[in-house]
A = this chain, B = another copy of it.
Amino acid sequence: MRVSVLFSGGKDSSLAALLLEPFFDVELVTCTFGEVPTEAIVAKSARELNFPHRMLCLEREILESAYEMILKDGFPKNAINHIHKKALETLASESDMQFLADGTRRDDRVPMLDLSQIRSLEDRFGVRYICPLKGYGRNTVDRLVERHLLIEEGLSENTLKADYETELREVIRQRIGEDKIHELFPVHVQSHVLSRKMLR
């Protein structure tokens, strides 16, 4: 059984893939709007994890809607959730898709589909959506990451990661400027996976 895991190169999506690996044939899928050239770095993380990896181009329109949302709201939550939902729908609409997954954790608030959105996704596209980390709290995730992954962490503005936030930030930087990014996005720690630890 193949599962396609939305992959940013960060620790959560990487750990989600590791948890699925004993039970599924895992492929990693990184969504992009082509705004930031993240393919090389995220493909390297995927190689280090030893999973097949591909990029998935999302419709430009999705990023434009998210851009309008974040400016209107003044905070990123709805914009990020919008991109996440559309990314899942894009992946789910592939003709041979059965199982798709992502790195959503128990304590996450963004991005996150609620139960009715999950069931709607599954019913509309005939797929099964798995969140392997959904029953794991932050501490447990950190312990598992520490045991299985070598990561580097840094503030969101400096860490190379292929997530939706990176591209949304870039569009805002181009159109309005650096200051607007700091106004709209809280500074938080991002992770980037360097390699996998071999446990013996």
By a beta-carbon cutoff of 8 Å, the part of chain A in contact with chain B is 1, 19, 22-23, 99, 101, 104, 106, 115, 118-119, 122, 128-137, 139-140, 143-144, 147-148
Sorted nearest first, the 9 A-B pairs with minimum C-beta distance are A134-B135, A131-B135, A134-B134, A128-B140, A22-B22, A128-B139, A132-B135, A130-B135, A130-B136
Q: Which residue of B lies closest to A115 (CB)?
A: B106
CB atoms of B137 and A135 under 8 A apart:
no
Chain A interface main SS type? mixed
Q: Which residue of B lies closest to A15 (CB)?
A: B23
Interchain CB contact (< 8 A) of A137 among B23, B128, B133, B137: B128
Q: A19-B19, A106-B115 are in contact. Are A99 and B135 (CB under 8 A)?
A: no
With a cutoff of 8 Å between Cβ atoms, the chain B residues found around residue A134 in the complex are: 106, 131, 134-135
CB atoms of B130 and A99 under 8 A apart:
no
Q: Which residue of B lies closest to A102 (CB)?
A: B135
| 8 extra interface residue pairs, beta carbon distance < 8 Å, beyond A23-B144, A106-B115 | A1-B143, A1-B147, A23-B148, A99-B140, A106-B118, A130-B136, A131-B135, A135-B135
